[in-house]
Amino acid sequence: MDRIDSSLIALRRIVRATELFGREIRQTSGVTPTQFRVLQIVSEQGYATAKAISVRMRVSQGTVTSLVDKLVRDGVAVREKSTQDRRQTNILLTDAGRAVLRDAPDPLQQTFVRKFAAMENWEQAMLVASLERVAAMLNAEDMDASPVLDTGEIRPTE
């Protein structure tokens, strides 16, 4: 097998692993990997603002608002006015939201993060450079993307 075929097979395996994880997390928890990441960010401090989530995920506040709307509609998160600053709205998890985090399969990116962190510094740098090169080869270097392994749109379509 030549290197072109080997590289295309590796790319397909990455896409397929991402698709399978997305399907698994939707079936077991009812949320997408991107929505799951929002829940994780909110869980870290017990609350978060849409602005803080958008900064962490590197997406627009409008995208976060749309994601949170769906989470609120599904009963896994709520919006609550801040007691310190009434102009600010915090997003908090409900008991159902905490259960989603507790019961969901290990997120694919968590597995990646653990294995990436175990690599030598030079290996990490080489891998990042290679992945950035692949993104450029696919004309994807300027695409809006958050650090979430998901094949779907970041903004929910519902």
Can you say whether the dihedral through the CA atoms of 141, 158, 38, 81 is positive or negative? positive
Residues in CB range of 41: below 8 A, 6 or more apart: 48, 52, 53, 56, 57
Examine the pLDDT at 155 and tell me if it is beyond 60.
no
Stretch 138-144: mean pLDDT:
75
Give the DSSP per-residue string, 72-122: HHTTSEEEEE-SS-TT-EEEEE-HHHHHHHHHSPPPHHHHHHHHHHTS-HH
Domains in the chain and their CATH numbers? 3-137 (1.10.10.10)
Query: What single-letter DSSP state applies at residue 141?
Result: T
Residues in CB range of 28: below 8 A, 6 or more apart: 103, 104, 105
Stretch 148-153: mean pLDDT:
56
What are φ and ψ of residue 48, in 5° steps?
A: -160, 155
Examine the pLDDT at 158 and tell me if it is beyond 70.
no
Write out pLDDT tens, residues 64-120. 999 999 999 999 999 998 888 778 899 999 999 999 998 887 777 778 888 999 999
Strands 77-81 and 89-93: antiparallel
pLDDT band with cut points at 50, 70 and 90 for residue 60? confident
User: 80 vs 49, 100, 134, CA distance in Å?
Assistant: 10, 20, 42
pLDDT band with cut points at 50, 70 and 90 for residue 151? low
